[in-house]
Structure 1
Amino acid sequence: MKKTWWKESVVYQIYPKSFKDSNGDGIGDIRGIIEKLDYLKELGVNVLWISPMLESPQDDNGYDISDYRKIYKDYGTMEDYETLLAEAHKRGIKILMDLVVNHTSDEHSWFVESRKSKDNPYRDYYIWRNPVNGKEPNNWGGVFGGSAWEYDAQTDMYYLHLFSKKQPDLNWENDKVRREVYDMMNFWCEKGIDGFRMDVISMISKDQTFPDGETHGGLYGDFGPYSVHGPRVHEYLQEMNREVLSKYDVMTVGETSGVTIEEAQKYAGDDREELNMVFQFEHVEIGGGDYGKWTTERYDFKEFKKIMIKWQEELAGKAWNSLFLGNHDQPRSVSRFGNDNPAYRDISAKMLATCLHMMQGTPYVYQGEELGMTNIYFDKLEDYCDIESLHYFTELTESGRLTPEYMMKCLMLRSRDNARTPMQWDTSAGAGFTTGEPWIKVNPNYQQINAADQLKDPDSVFHYYQKLIRLRKEMDIIVYGEFEALYRDHDQIFAYTRKLGSEKLLTVCNFSAQEAEMELPETFAEGAQCLITNMGRTVFDRKIVLNPYEAFVLYKKD
């Protein structure tokens, strides 16, 4: 297998608005990130993916860009950004930029021009369609609820927005749009950035007949079959690779919701010349109900395990995996997949990290995950800021499909705001995130969960992550070893081996709050070394009774 730096990296995702505020205005900023580079170096991560920091009206927290070459004023200046790049590079840390090119803000100069008239030179930068029988061009619903079309009275036409109406979709069929995007990407690569995380990149190509979608019992049709992995998406990405990516030593990861194994091999296959890897979301989308993710059902562990194993086995030797449990769009991973009850929180956070970091692929740590930060469980609607949460609360309660009480429970478990509360640095007011009024409430458990305390405690979640990251850097087997699943049908245990030459690793994780019995494979029964354990177990008999949420990794060299 070809060795590359991005396979051997551990990526840390920063949500800049919530990471560190350097000037007391309650909003995280670039200077705040610079202040914390030494912390990130100590953790051991060597790539930072920073969510969008470009000029934006912030309708969707920066995923609605109004100027691709300008830093958002509340985050700082271009000079600040250049300082961040230089200071990160000094510490051996690379920077990934969040590339948002499926859509822009409706305040972007291209769209301002586009909506002026049907013959404006920028008209075709976006997707405009005539009304059909006085209504929307088709029945597609938007990701954040409501129709995916917005009527514009000025020219008596509709424009497409798969997300918010303030996020009109770019028309990738127009080669001028593609040139603009590649020019912009080259601009940033010349500044010295180290790669791109590509937002909803699988949606850039649309079926140009714009047929109605299936309604699945809802009010609106599903655009998925016609806008996700669309007809020309691979052609566009190969063109992007030729025009930009192949000219630089950059890392690329595509956000590809709904991706199958077969599609992932097209996006990230070794011989495809498109992307290095993709994010698949199958494992975080399990447990959805009639209203998608808006449910109070707990995830199904066996289904989760089956999906994780499938991606390990079926991409092996064909494409590279990205490994994650949390990000800015997901609830906190310890609340979702572990147990955030204080009795089990740290143990289960360590167990989840063990399971993920010992697999093949590039691991992603979402800010605060290395501390075991949890969901905030807001119980008042006015505490929520997330556009998706607020849209769906209104849509599902006003239509009578869910009661307000039930929907509040859904938000507590699944709202994106759970991941967006401020980073918990210390026990001072504002959790050390800000000296001002934070843009969103701080989780009250910052007194118990914070970086300052964990840095001092050798047994903390932070130091456990640090050790996992260090092991990956020291041992090729963790990066490049072959994966084999064990105990496939066990309803508590996730276990697997890795093999590279004469070396073998065994990872064992108990995903439940009950004890679990297992038998070690014969190879590991004698003479194996314990690389890491979250319970301090020192004796590994052939038959073992695992404690709740226990995890360990054994190593053997023949």
Structure 2
Amino acid sequence: MNKKWWKEAVIYQIYPRSFKDTNGDGVGDLRGIIEKLDYIKSLGVDVIWLNPIYASPNDDNGYDISDYKAIMDEFGTMDDFDEMLREMHKRNIRLVMDLVVNHSSDEHRWFQESRSSRDNPYRDYYHWWPAEKGKPAPRFSFFDVNSDAWMYDSTTNAYYLHYFSRKQPDLKWENPKVRQEVYDIMRFWLAKGIDGFRMDAFQYVSKDTTFKPLPEGYEKDIIKYYGMGPNLHEYLQEMNREVISQYDIMTVAEGAGSTFEDAISLVDPERKELDMVYHFEGMDIGNGLGGYSLKEFKEVYSRWDNALADKGWLSIFLANHDVPRMVSKFGNDGDVFRQASSKMLNTFILSMRGTPYCYYGDELGMTNIDFDDISDYKDISAINSYQAAKEAGKDMDEFMKKLNFLSRDNARTPMQWDTTSYAGFTNGTPWLAVNPNFKAINVEVENNDPASCLNYFRKMVQLRKEYPVFVYGDYELLFPDHEQVYAYTRELDDEKVLVLLNFSEKPVKVTLPANVKLKEVMIDNMDDDEVEGSDVNLKPYQAIIYLLL
């Protein structure tokens, strides 16, 4: 079974800019996290994954780093960080930090040196293409208005590569000095006592540096061409030898390549690379205005479970800082069904095999915000894609509807603490608008309501901790073609449970297989199960877990 603490952990993701502001500047800070550690502890979670807090000009909200060993001024000081980590560890909460080393900020000292002259010692820290060779073969940029990942720089008459914003030049991992710089950064934070890294955009670090032309339309299958480059495994094994293997930490790769073989190769323990894969196929479901297919949802999560059942380990999540709010995308965020569907989705996350990730606010059932105008948005991806759509003459009404649903800003609105102004997030002006529904959806209100999303989340976390079957048990999908119900069993030794989830706003009757015998209800988001012989009647968005005979 190969037990590990990070397999048994429940991870709580904090987007620090939006969690809690203590100095009135409208931006969340480290002291805000310190202030709320008792709340986080009350959730029963074991690990905090913290989005970047490093020094940054904030072109991409901290994912453009100008100093990897300093704290962003808006977030506080290194003393604040040290105190935060001590207070976390006092409460037996571990800390995992983002390691953002596919690219740096263009304001990082390395890049400032690199662009200053062609013979600078730091020149080879980044990917440069001399202009006299002609413009390099096109490369797609995720964030650039023109989708051109080569940026001309007149200082040395050359182009530099940026897969993301033009202010995020890609580091040249082919240079061993760059890799040693990264290992030095990792050791710096591990010496402070942090408990692991989430490797941001890491599947992109290895490049084919000939930059030969790619086939037309390659950007539609971008992971195939950008991910899992020629030397990625060599770099990871070197990183593991030199750093990871020296500490009791967890490492998780953002992304998983384009095949199951890619994913397994990253986290097969025998290869000595990373611990856990964080794939995005589940997040690619329902990225339109027409909803999503539950059959596809079940197929994706079942396929990934099966692929890593014997080797490696999965992350299980339905939300993060880059996608819409969970209940708005996969549940129903209307007044009638928001609470039930939030509880149902958290039941799914916390009853699957793999390490569950809860995004801040999802324990409350926080929802997407409804922005009217592009001026409401702060996310560089939203702003640049709006500009590109306008220049391309696209239907802007349709574009704005889709942006309103899918924008990353939906997941970045301030945490809703109480009913006071700005939801108790700040006594200043928040950097991003607070969702107007904060009077009904907040920690203070839900803490005092036994039937709230928050208190259900706590119960579900506790259930997972009490029964190892939810962590290590085998998974078997039932009724794969059912369009309303996601049902599966988990089995470990002589313990077997049945999970029934109604993903729809209509009641439904489920006839259980003859070999499935119910013993007792372990948890029920409505405290009202109706069983008639082998039939279970599920109410809209009902979630029930049964212990089986």
TM-score bin, normalised by smaller chain: over 0.9
Aligned to 1:291: none
Opposite residue 249 of structure 1, the aligned amino acid is D
Opposite residue 508 of structure 2, the aligned amino acid is A
Q: CA deviation at 1:356?
A: 1.8
Cα deviation code 1:300-333 (max 9, x no counterpart): 2211111011011121011111000000001001
The answer as to whether partners of 2:257 and 2:263 remain within 8 angstroms in 1 is: no
Aligned to 1:276: 275
Correspondence list, 1:13-162, <5 A? 13-131=13-131, 134-135=134-135, 137-145=136-144, 146-162=147-163
Opposite residue 193 of structure 1, the aligned amino acid is I
The answer as to whether partners of 2:256 and 2:263 remain within 8 angstroms in 1 is: no
Aligned to 2:313: 320
Q: CA deviation at 1:61?
A: 0.2
The answer as to whether partners of 1:200 and 1:257 remain within 8 angstroms in 2 is: no
Q: CA deviation at 1:443?
A: 0.3
Cα deviation code 1:501-540 (max 9, x no counterpart): 11101001011112222112334434x1111111212443
Q: CA deviation at 1:223?
A: 5.4
Aligned to 1:246: 245
Tell me how far apart the structure 1 counterparts of residues 221 and 133 of structure 2 sit (CA, whole Å).
20
- 1:335 aligned to 323, 328, 339, which one? 328
Q: State the secondary structure of the residue aligned to 1:271.
A: helix
Aligned to 2:173: 172
Aligned to 1:292: none
Aligned to 2:436: 444
Is 1:533 equivalent to 2:524 in the alignment? yes
The answer as to whether partners of 1:207 and 1:227 remain within 8 angstroms in 2 is: no
Opposite residue 533 of structure 1, the aligned amino acid is D
Tell me how far apart the structure 1 counterparts of residues 7 and 511 of structure 2 sit (CA, whole Å).
32
Q: State the secondary structure of the residue aligned to 1:491.
A: coil
- 1:426 aligned to 398, 418, 423, which one? 418
Tell me how far apart the structure 2 counterparts of residues 442 and 379 of structure 1 sit (CA, whole Å).
14
Q: State the secondary structure of the residue aligned to 1:87.
A: helix
For the structure 1 residues 438 and 540, does the alpha-carbon distance in structure 2 shift closer, same or farther, using more than 3 Å as the test? same
Aligned to 2:304: 311
Correspondence list, 1:452-463, <5 A? 452-463=444-455
Is 1:411 equivalent to 2:412 in the alignment? no
Question: Structure 1 residues 345-354 or 529-538, which shifts more?
Answer: 529-538
Q: State the secondary structure of the residue aligned to 1:102.
A: coil
Aligned to 1:256: 255
Q: CA deviation at 1:222?
A: 6.5
Cα deviation code 1:36-82 (max 9, x no counterpart): 00000001111000000000000000000000100111101001000
Question: Structure 1 residues 278-287 or 406-415, which shifts more?
Answer: 278-287
Q: CA deviation at 1:215?
A: 3.6
Percent identity over paired residues: 53
- 2:377 aligned to 384, 390, 404, which one? 384
Q: CA deviation at 1:134?
A: 4.4
Q: State the secondary structure of the residue aligned to 2:298.
A: helix
The answer as to whether partners of 2:530 and 2:536 remain within 8 angstroms in 1 is: no
Is 1:545 equivalent to 2:537 in the alignment? yes
Opposite residue 328 of structure 2, the aligned amino acid is S
Aligned to 2:207: 206
Tell me how far apart the structure 2 counterparts of residues 516 and 131 of structure 1 sit (CA, whole Å).
64
Aligned to 1:516: 508
- 2:460 aligned to 468, 477, 482, which one? 468
Question: Structure 1 residues 63-72 or 223-232, which shifts more?
Answer: 223-232
Question: Structure 1 residues 142-151 or 102-111, which shifts more?
Answer: 142-151
State the superposition RMSD in angstroms.
1.4
Tell me how far apart the structure 2 counterparts of residues 321 and 465 of structure 1 sit (CA, whole Å).
21
Question: Structure 1 residues 260-269 or 440-449, which shifts more?
Answer: 260-269
Tell me how far apart the structure 1 counterparts of residues 226 and 16 of structure 2 sit (CA, whole Å).
29
Cα deviation code 1:193-249 (max 9, x no counterpart): 0000110110000112212233439xx786543421111111101111111100000
The answer as to whether partners of 1:66 and 1:105 remain within 8 angstroms in 2 is: yes
Q: CA deviation at 1:131?
A: 3.3
Q: CA deviation at 1:468?
A: 1.1
Tell me how far apart the structure 2 counterparts of residues 405 and 258 of structure 1 sit (CA, whole Å).
34
Tell me how far apart the structure 2 counterparts of residues 24 and 498 of structure 1 sit (CA, whole Å).
47
Tell me how far apart the structure 1 counterparts of residues 176 and 224 of structure 2 sit (CA, whole Å).
23
Q: State the secondary structure of the residue aligned to 2:469.
A: helix
Is 1:189 equivalent to 2:182 in the alignment? no
Opposite residue 51 of structure 1, the aligned amino acid is N
Opposite residue 273 of structure 1, the aligned amino acid is K
Q: CA deviation at 1:269?
A: 1.1
Q: CA deviation at 1:133?
A: 7.0
Cα deviation code 1:15-34 (max 9, x no counterpart): 00000001111000000000
The answer as to whether partners of 1:214 and 1:222 remain within 8 angstroms in 2 is: no
Cα deviation code 1:479-499 (max 9, x no counterpart): 111110000111111000011
Residue-pair matches, total: 546
Cα deviation code 1:133-174 (max 9, x no counterpart): 743x11111011420110001111100000000000000000
Tell me how far apart the structure 1 counterparts of residues 182 and 79 of structure 2 sit (CA, whole Å).
22
Tell me how far apart the structure 1 counterparts of residues 290 and 231 of structure 2 sit (CA, whole Å).
37
For the structure 1 residues 261 and 224, does the alpha-carbon distance in structure 2 shift closer, same or farther, using more than 3 Å as the test? closer
